[in-house]
Structure 1
Amino acid sequence: MDERTGELLSAAALAERVVWCVSLVSGMVSALTVERWNTADVDTLAAGEDAGGRKLPSNAWMALRRLGWTVAPPEGVKVNDRIVRMAQEQAGRALRSAKWRADLTAGVLTTWPGDPARRTADEWDAVREAVPGGQFLPSSVIKSRTRQTASFNAKNGRMPVDVFELEPAPRTARMLLLSACDGQQATIERADEPGRALLRLQLPTRPDPASYKDWTWVACPISLPPTIPAGAVLHLPTLRIHRDRVRADLAYTHAVPKTSRTGHTIALGVDWGLNTLLSAGAARLHDDGQITALGSGGQFRAAGVLAKQHRLRRLSEHLHAKTDRYQPHGRGQAAFADRQAHGPVR
């Protein structure tokens, strides 16, 4: 419901307003990420200290403001400071996550093997030593980064300087991180009936708001899943659009009993791997010291997703091969047309 006019908004109308707000935030996120997509800025953010040696805040948007990394909406568009906060928070998280890829790429470049397709045992030891946590890193991760670097070298005739030359700035996810806001932009509270909550947030009434009058409070009822305890404290969610509807990724906090270090009789073991992503099983310790399994356990396999990925990769390779075959024909046809128009060259 639009609280200014009392108008009841349909799901499509609400999604449209959220999309307008998401577009404003995404534009600022892209601009800020591209501007700071370099080794010096990512290292500065990852170092955790500002120019004066003070520790940077854990919130990404606060850390970016401490460093003086600002962003503004397009000229003529009016947004409040909380909208800018969401953009800085999202950009800061993306820049912080790039540090690991930057260190991995740097380690691969400094220990480049004689044959990128087949490292020797000593070359494997060297690259794992150069990469932070490399001794625990799967070989497939290092191999894929090596192939990516080798492709860049084959295409450009030289090695990349760092990951920021190897990869473009990441695409911006279209979402609203309301956790970076306060009560002047969004609030959430439980409704009178159980299993329901009320989210209030400011949304634009047009895609290019020219003043604060083009922003209005909208009340959005939310159906809570049964997994959220009745006494849990709700936190501001992340909004995203899925199939033309608004979805809220909701976080909550609730008290749990204090865990004791001894006296347990049931244990849960979880393992992960490349073929079977997760495997889990429970076991019970009996009074006589015997351990028995509870049920047959469970596992999560991503075979379906991986199969689709392989199909798309094969299709992409097939289309690239067809394109490569068509390009010489296209050049030959262009030369034939030129001869027809101007005659043979003597």
Structure 2
Amino acid sequence: MACPINLPPTVPASAVLHLPTLRLAGRQVRVDLAYTHPVPKAKHAGHEVALGVDWGLNTLLSAGTVRLRPDGRITALGAGGQVRAAGVLAKQHRLRRLSERLQTKADHYQRLLDGCPDEHLQARHAVLRDEIQYVSARRRTLNDALAWAAARWAVDQAIAATATVIYLEDLRSMEATGMGRTLNTRLSQQVRGKIADRIRHLAAEQGVAVVTVPARNTSKHCPQCLTPLRHRKAPDQPTVAGWKWAICPHPSCGWQGDRDHGAWRRIAARGLTHQGKTVIDKTTGAMVIRAVVDALEAAAVVTPTTTKTSRTDRSKTGPTARKPSRPAPRRRRAPSPTRPHGRAGKRPEGHAPTDRRLPRAAHRHQNVTTTSTPTTGHQARGAALGAGFHLHAHATPPRWETIPETYSDTGSLS
């Protein structure tokens, strides 16, 4: 039998297909087809553009790119971005608490069954076991979807910035202790290990290296001058202690920003300066920078691309002056010139002809203070007929058709 298989567009044309596996799914036949295709080899050193990725608390990922200049300076390319997964993490937290309650109840039934077997308790215990497996499957599916989405975002950031390496924090140096029950739970539910594995998998297809660097002091020191930062709750609350907003106390630097944004700058700069120390872990096969060298760390600073501009203080010193809602019109301050003798001057008539009868467009529903509104589609016939530059803007009717002219001794219009 011949089974035609339509390959999806994600399979490269140069891929080598392997023997497929057929399996039944309801009334359909599924095909599991593996393929192999060549990918660029990731290099250990020689990187100029790098993507730094920081693991946050409320933000799942914070990432941005930096460039290593030929003169040794490191500059940031843009402000970076963040992956916020508060809603998914909240759902994951609810499923975890539900799983713990079900597990506690199942353990209680198990203790009762050990002492006195009962068919009714056994049936209820079997229902609880099935429910626990269902909740666990939902948690695994949610974790996998979250890990793939976060990894895809990080790799897309590197591809868009033409980065050849992604620097991640070493997960072994991050411990969820001493932060309280809420933060510890949130850290444990962020599936960081799965995200790191997915990033390596997706980056390998593009030839982008993924290197882990030590996470020591990445959120503590300023990315521009390595001065210990002062952490505050928010930028508009500089005196309230917190961890979200970071301010550099050095007078010549003055950098401030989100704590996680400063961290990815430090991670990327540390990775570029220590890229000569990159080794391959024999256990996992991943690229790792194991230790921080003080001499290289001193050069791991991000140079600001724009200079600081001095601005005058525009703070209010008093109440705002009240302005009238309808200002008075500007009036002429000089007297009008004297009129010449002879015929009095006339009001300008625009482009209306004076030697022949006016076209119909200039007389249709026209007055000194009214304009016509056509009921049909707009046709610019007025300019062609000499009745103005637009069908809705015509010259006023001639004065001699409405006001009779008489002459006085003073030469003015009576």
TM-score range (shorter-chain normalised) is under 0.3
Q: TM-score, normalised by structure 2?
A: 0.20
Q: TM-score, normalised by structure 1?
A: 0.23
Greater Rg over alpha carbons, structure: 2
